[in-house]
Amino acid sequence: MDLGIAGKKAIVCAASKGLGKACAMSLAKNGADLVINARTLADLEATAAEIRAATGRSVTVVAADIGTAEGRASVLAACPAPDILVNNAGGPARGDFEDWDEAAWMQAVNLSMIAPLMLIKAVMDGMCARRFGRIVNITSGTVKMPLPDHALSQGPRAGLTAVCAGLARKLAPHNVTINGLLPGQHLTERMQTGLLEVARRTGQTHAEMIAKRVADIPAGRVGDPFEFGEACAFLCSAHSGYIVGQNLLLDGGRFNSTLG
């Protein structure tokens, strides 16, 4: 299917690895030119080279912390008039509610809620004026299915989701959409690191750990970042203008509900 985004300009945040990288690759495969961001320049350049080689598209790198105003300004300076914005960042640490102080909460809210909102604020008027805009927030399945040790993730992301639910309706008349993509268990570097850490502590093998993770996933497997990227590309396509303020859960069916 031609997604109708050839030549569109896309900002993909936190895109040197994992889900962000997969989204960047899928957008470029469909003809978008990219500005990709992450903090570590060497990883970012390696990813940019990989995407250029695979797609032939223009890929500009901006090494910056997207949780800072300066970082966001440098990303926007590299792409002042994007057609597509994919908001993403590293996830906050797991832990116990008792252990998090005010600073930990402020950091999580800043990275997972304020940073994407400020980027949306910066790009939405231009998108409306040009009558095309696709904004995708990578959040988490925990927004729908909260977990006790994920409060720093699900709290700020639920806030982002609520703000965008209202804002999406305001932007929709201008052919500008905001939607959420909610990963479940995708085998990225972040997940691998988590598995290795638990394996080290408990003496379980990698295969045993994966088997436990997928035990309550009807699809019987973890998610492939590739399929996440493809879903992102569709939400960013010319054909998705009627998908407004939705939150698409990619979790292999783990969250059991009649209404998704």
What is the contact surface with ligand NAP in residues (CB under 6 A)? 14-20, 37-40, 43, 65-67, 88-91, 111, 138, 140-141, 153, 183, 185-186, 188-191
Selection from 216, 176, 50, 202 nearest residue 194 by Cα: 202
CB of 49: closest distance to ligand NAP in angstroms? 15
Q: How far apart are CA 63 and CA 38, in angstroms?
A: 5
Token reading at 73: 């300004």
Rg (CA), the chain: 18
Q: How far apart are CA 98 and CA 74, in angstroms?
A: 36
CB of 135: closest distance to ligand NAP in angstroms? 16
Selection from 143, 145, 134, 161 nearest residue 243 by Cα: 134
Which of helix, strand or coil describes residue 13? coil
Selection from 253, 2, 5, 1 nearest residue 133 by Cα: 5
Separate counts of helices (H) and strands (E) for the chain: 9, 7
Q: How far apart are CA 52 and CA 42, in angstroms?
A: 15
Residues facing residue 186 across a β-bridge:
223
CB of 194: closest distance to ligand NAP in angstroms? 9
CB of 55: closest distance to ligand NAP in angstroms? 18
CB of 182: closest distance to ligand NAP in angstroms? 7
CB of 115: closest distance to ligand NAP in angstroms? 8
For the chain, how many residues are written?
260
End-to-end CA distance of the chain: 25
Q: In the complex with ligand NAP, which residue's Cβ is closer, 176 or 232?
A: 232
CB of 205: closest distance to ligand NAP in angstroms? 20
- Edge-to-edge strand order for the sheet containing 84-87? 59-63, 33-38, 9-12, 84-87, 133-138, 176-183, 247-250
